[in-house]
Amino acid sequence: MIKIAVLGYGTVGSGVVEVVARNAKLLRERAGEEIYIKYILDLRDFPGDPYEDRVIHDFGTILNDPEISILCEVMGGVGAAYQFTKQALEAGKSVCTSNKELVAKHGAEFLAIAKRMRCNYMFEASVAGGIPIIRTINSALAADRVEAVTGILNGTTNFILTKMEKEGADYGEVLRQAQELGYAERNPEADVEGLDAGRKIAILADMLTGKNVAPDRVMTEGITKISTADFAYARAAGMTIKLLARCRVFEDGSVSAMVAPFMLPVEHPLGRVDDVFNGVQVTCSMLGDAMFGGQGAGKLPTASAVAADVMDCAMHPGRTVMHGWSSEEADVVDTSQTENRFFVRAKASGRKCLEESFAGCSFLPEQGGDELGLFVPAMRESDFFAKCAALGDVVLNRIRLA
Ligand code: HSE
């Protein structure tokens, strides 16, 4: 019997308990032994819960129990979660987590301890929820070089943008729905300002470079300025708007990483990844392009990924299966020095100035409201933003083109 502990009995924690219970037979067959949840650590009590008798409040009980070989850290945050993870790994216990903030910030440190102690720090659920993208890069693509990743990595914002596009829905109302459905972070700012997707692309950039890409080196722009007027222009051009996270490794080993709303053709591989679904496009030197999609948030999809990590640990005792990355800082490129094409929505009265500023721009069919929309050819981002600033209040919004 393999005895495990779950740290945090919230949405994901209760999901892990449910996956292990519902798939108990299958897990036993595959792991060769029963997976048994011995402890659930939480500050709260859960009177009447079927697992009430396994709820404990003292982490020391788990740490000092030699029977516990695997922990699921699904409590979130970077305070107690950091301490518990470090202590568990130092004790040779494997840790499986959905905590992207912690992985993005301290992954290199934990991976080094896991390697030294011949156990595992696993984080499949931290990126793209239920989509097995970490395992794919770590194992399935182990013989290839992943040069770039572009993904829709946040379910909440994809849910919001899809509803805005398809139903002309109100931003605040859709955000509330996403929170009720358990998709959104406790602080929705992390979702809507792109920070959550930023942490996830930082983790993927870590994996692609084998070095540390600090999450605060990822340029992030959120979706709060996107309006139904932007969607009208996108629709007229056969396009849609998605919050994309992009990471690219260059020949010299430097890396760019960013999160921002992009206008992209609906027939783009990520163009019809809708609702809470996530999509990840990887470009490899041998395989070429490959697409992965699935549920990027929510209780059971996320718990399924955590439980898969538990299975990996159970099936490889005494072996470290993650390649991971070192604590050496990666050479992160300043995205303002990279080139992009842009969509601009502007006041109709500014047409002449826009034509002068953006040589070679093309105007889109008018969508009313004394406004116009145009596509601006590729230029260095810093130059583009300088021109927008010089145009003053003529420019109402601008969105990168994929
Ligand atoms: N808030 C996150 C999202 C949860 O919406 O994608 C999964 O990481």
Which pLDDT tens digit goes with each residue over 169-205? Answer: 888 888 888 888 877 776 889 999 999 999 999 999 9
Residue tagged 């990027």 (tokens): 296
Ligand 1 neighbour 203 (Cβ under 6 A) = no
- Report CA(97)–ligand 1 centroid distance (Å): 14
Tokens coding 103:
């992985």
CA of 389 to the centre of ligand 1 (A): 33
Exposed, middle or buried, 127 (CB in 10 Å: 0-12/13-18/19+)? Answer: buried
Radius of gyration of the chain (CA): 23
Give dist(CA 30, CA 302) in Å, integer: 20
Task: Give nearest CA residue, ligand 1 atom 4.
Answer: 297
Tell me if 80 sits within 8 A of 14, measured CB to CB. no
DSSP 77: S
Residue 11 Cβ < 6 Å to ligand 1: no
pLDDT tens per residue, range 214-240:
999 999 999 999 998 999 999 999 999
In order, the DSSP letters of 195-241 are HHHHHHHHHHHHHHHSSB--GGGSEE--STT--HHHHHHHHHTTEEE
Residue type at position 39: Y
Asked if residue 297 has pLDDT above 80, the reply is: yes
- Whether residue 39 contacts residue 62, with contact meaning beta carbons closer than 8 Å, is answered with yes
Q: Give the residues across from 4 on adjacent strands.
A: 37, 70
Q: Best substitution site from 102, 183, 306 to test ligand 1's pocket, by max atoms within 8 Å of Cβ?
A: 183
- Tell me which residues are annotated as active site: 200
Which residue has 């290839």 as its token pair?
144
**Which residue's CA is the closest to the ligand 1 atom numbered 7?**
297
Mean pLDDT of 97-102: 97
pTM, two decimal places: 0.96
**Cross-strand bridge partners of residue 259:** 220, 245
- pLDDT of residue 102 exceeding 80, the answer is yes
- In the chain, the amino acid numbered 255 is V
Q: Bridge partners of 262?
A: 242, 400
Q: Chain-centre distance of CA 290, in angstroms?
A: 18
User: Residues 374-401: pLDDT tens digits?
Assistant: 999 999 999 999 999 999 999 999 999 9
Q: Which domains does the chain have, with CATH numbers?
A: 2-130+299-315 (3.40.50.720), 141-295 (3.30.360.10), 335-401 (3.30.70.120)
How many whole angstroms from 42 Cα to the centroid of ligand 1? 22
Share of the chain above pLDDT 70, in %: 100
Nearest CA-CA partner of 152 in 113, 191, 103: 191
Dihedral sign, CA of 244, 100, 67, 303?
A: negative
With bands split at pLDDT 50, 70 and 90, how would you rate the model's confidence at 300? very high
The total of other beta-carbon atoms located within 10 Å of residue 268's CB is 19
Q: In what order do the strands lie in the sheet with 35-41?
A: 55-56, 35-41, 2-7, 68-73, 94-97, 121-122
